[in-house]
Amino acid sequence: MALKEKLEAVLNVGLRVPSIMLLEVLYRWDVSSFFQKIQRSSLNNNPLFQYKYLALYLHYVGYILSLVLLTLPRQHLVRLYLYVLTALLLFAGHQVSRDYVRGELDSGYEGPLYLDPLSMNRFTTALIGQLVVCTLCSCVMQTKQIWLFSAHLLPLVARLCLVPLETIVFINRFAMVFTGLEVLYFLASNLLVPYNLAKTAYRELVQLVEVYGLLALAMSLWNQLVLPVLFMCFWLVLFALQIYTYFSTRDQPTSRERLLFLFLTSIAECCSTPYSLLGLVFTVSFVALGVLTLCKFYLQGYRAFMNDNTMHRGMTEGVTLLILAVQTGLIELQVIHRAFLLSIILFIVVASILQSMLEIADPIVLALGASRDKSLWKHFRAVSLCLFLLIFPAYMSYMICQFFHMDFWLLIIISSSILTSLQVLGTLLIYVLFMVEEFRKEPVENMDDVIYYVNGTYRLLEFLVALCVVAYGVSETVFGEWTVMGSTIIFVHSYYNVWLRAQLGWQSFLLRRDAVNKIKSMPTATSQQLEQHNDVCAICYQDMRSAVITPCSHIFHAGCLKKWLYVQETCPLCHSQLKSHPPPAANAVAPEGAPQAPQEPANQNQTPINQIQEAASHIHEAANQNREVTAQADLIAGTAKECVDAAGEVDADSQSHLSAVAIKQEAQLEDRASQSQCLEHAFNDPQMGQGVWEGHQAATTCPEQ
């Protein structure tokens, strides 16, 4: 992003912050209660009380003006602020001129200026000030007609001409009236500008709604106004003003204990309206985003920004704060009560941030443990972050238990931190197992089962924690005070944290048990079968010393196939369903005359003679068919060559096409000849006839020419 674009983005946010500040002031200032106080104080004759309804109308006009400032395009907003700045400069020039006239009246000197040093100093100071005001006004308004802003120079010119002081007072008033008339003329000449802007904006909004819809319009306004950054800047300004006000009114230094209380009370003061609450929500979201970004950078460095996860944007923490604040009626409480409630809400937000940090760190730590990366710095960063996530939630839970009395709501809040610590502990144990396996010369055969047991253990602990929370809540509901909200929370917590976890755990257990039963039901490949197979495992690409044979006659490592069956119940190669069958009895004798059961893949070497002869006859027929196809291909190739020889007068494109046909036919001829030799060899060796015939049936015999 170029520097100009950055400045425009900063201006787009900074120029709209006063509109939110104005909304905040208007919300806090209750006009009706203000006039009721005036009426109770027996000041009915006060002129201010006579303009009660006018003040009410101005109150609503202020809301409209704030919304206009908030939604005005940036170019028009900059122009409006320049006009306001010019008006302020003209007012400053009027103040300088009035102060000079008062100074001259107090001195009473009407002689030449050079004879009185004090009068000369006052004149010089006022003249420089007025010249600066005129120059700034002409620069801001981008005009060379500097005389339009020089009316306040008239009293100075009159004093230089030795005009009496009473006349100078009149001239000063005339200059003020003249400047006011200029401002009124400018406003009258631009009176229709707001109407034209509103008309243009309405036309554009209607077109956008017709073409893209309301949702696209809302997203466009959200991106153009940059509302999250705008509300965050507004809240930070409000919070800084609150801190400055506190320290400017106190002379004594603040203790460490009072700093935490000051922090909470300042936040509580800055979320007393819906606008400031939204500002706090977006501020918390950006703080969470910053913490999660630092966590990614600490673990992975600059590589973390290449594959950024859209799930960790900090919006979860902001939405959590907003829901809890609305549910508990935060803005309606007193400041002290609001501060204590905010401490609990912020604890929940911090627990959510820690959970998001764990979601970022968990796959990185496990991948680092499973890889062969020996960088000590990477391992130190991963382990140190996990230790922080293990200790800090427990410390937070201990501290909040020291401040508040234990009840059902506090137990639910603490349980999230306890679950985070348990998850980190499980991640560290798996990381240690991976590192132990890395330092061993031979891999641990049952490492997958050990990892499953570790995961199952801390998942069981999580389930027990959730179950204890539900049991405590039910006992408090039965023997204590019953509320609809408490019962709803217990029901939701029971469904999501107890029932769903129990269901997922049971399904995982059944899936593993079914996979183990399937592996046990499959026959084990003999050493002779492994030698004939002469291939690696299709899952791990390692040599096979022991393996199992699937019903579809594929051979895999038993451990590799079991891991595969944990995920899906199909063959890794042909994707046929693998169903568990009871293993056949070793000494079972089939009754005489009964149909012979199909042989297992382990007995493929003992194929019956009649099956070999049948396969050999099929191979012989296929060889004869292949000879016929070879002869046809030879005839087509010869014809193509003759066509090429006879194409002496044909164009180059036709000759190249015929040559390509001839080359293609020759290649097919050679392929058919080699296939025929292979089939004849298989026919002469009936022992391998069955396997060759099956491969011949599985492949395409010959494409149609």
3-state helix, strand, coil in the chain (%, to 5): 75, 0, 20
CA of 625: how far to CAs of 111, 191, 335, 619, in Å? 133, 97, 96, 10
For the chain, give the longest Cα–Cα distance.
Answer: 147
- pLDDT at position 418 over 60: yes
Q: What is the crossing angle of helices 500-521 and 558-567, to 10°? A: 140
In a domain, 76, yes or no: yes
| Dist. CA 282–CA 239, nearest whole Å | 14
Do 240 and 190 fall within a single domain?
no
Tell me: pLDDT of 124 over 80: yes
Beta pairing, strands 555-556 & 548-549: antiparallel
692 within domain boundaries: yes
pLDDT score of 693: 42
Asked if 509 and 531 sit in the same domain, the reply is no
Length of the chain: 705
Q: Which of 581, 601, 617 is the last residue of a domain?
A: 581
CATH number of the domain to which 559 belongs? 3.30.40.10
74 lies in the same domain as 122: yes
| Residue whose token pair is 């997958």 | 448
- Neighbour-count burial of 302, counting CB atoms closer than 10 A to its CB (0-12 exposed, 13-18 middle, 19+ buried): exposed
CA distance 517 to 561: 12
Predicted local distance difference test score (pLDDT) of residue 597: 40
On whether the CB atoms of residues 298 and 328 are closer than 8 A, the answer is: no
Residue 187 structural domain: 13-195
Query: How far is residue 143's CA from residue 424's CA, in Å, rounded to a whole number?
Result: 67
| Residue with more model confidence, 457 or 17 | 17
Q: In the numeric block, which tokens belong to residue 235?
A: 């809240």
Same domain, residue pair 623 and 679:
yes
Identity at 654, one-letter amino acid code: S
Instruction: Give burial (CB, 10 Å; 0-12/13-18/19+) of 419.
Output: buried
| Residue 41 banded pLDDT, cuts 50, 70, 90 | low
Q: How many domains does the chain have?
A: 5
Q: Clarify whether residues 329 and 435 are in a common domain.
A: yes
Is residue 72, in this structure, part of any structural domain at all? yes
Least confidently predicted of 253-257, 412-416, 562-566, 665-669: 665-669
> 43 and 163 in one domain?
yes
- pLDDT mean over 58-86: 87
pLDDT at 64 over 60: yes
Of the three residues 153, 172, 195, the one that is the final residue of a domain is 195
Q: For residue 449, which of 561, 579, 559 has the smallest C-alpha distance?
A: 559
Q: Which of 537, 560, 571, 678 is catalytic?
A: 537
Same domain (yes/no): 190, 230: no
Do residues 406 and 473 both lie within one domain? no
Please report whether residue 214 resides in a domain. Answer: no
Per-residue pLDDT band at 261 (split at 50, 70, 90): confident
User: Is 410 a domain residue?
Assistant: yes
Query: Is residue 269, in this structure, part of any structural domain at all?
Result: yes
The whole-model pTM stands at: 0.68
Q: What mean pLDDT is reported for the chain?
A: 77
Residues 179 and 56 in one domain: yes
DSSP letter at 584 equals P
CA distance 338 to 331: 8
Domain assignment of residue 322, yes or no: yes
Res. 371: pLDDT tops 50: yes
Q: What is the 3-state secondary structure (H, E, C) of 652-671?
A: HHHHHHHHHHHHHHHHHHHH
- What is the DSSP code string of 522-581? SPBPPHHHHHHH----TTT----SS-EE-TTS-EE-HHHHHHHHHH-SB-TTT--B----
Examine the residue annotation and report whether 270 is marked as an active-site residue of this protein. Answer: no
Q: What is the pLDDT of residue 670?
A: 54
619 with 545, same domain?
Answer: no
Closest CA to 172 of 199, 202, 151, 195: 151
Please give the DSSP secondary-structure letter assigned to residue 440: S
Please, which residues have CB within 8 angstroms of residue 597's CB and are 6 or more apart in sequence? Answer: 584, 590
* Measured torsion, CA atoms of residues 67, 72, 76, 82, in degrees rounded to the nearest 10: 40
In this predicted structure, the answer to whether residue 655 has a pLDDT above a threshold of 50 is: no
Answer yes or no: is 26 within a domain: yes
State the average pLDDT over residues 625-641. 50
* Same-domain pairing of 38 and 150: yes
Alpha helices in 270-407 (DSSP H): 274-300, 315-328, 335-370, 376-403
Q: Does 285 share its domain with 332?
A: yes
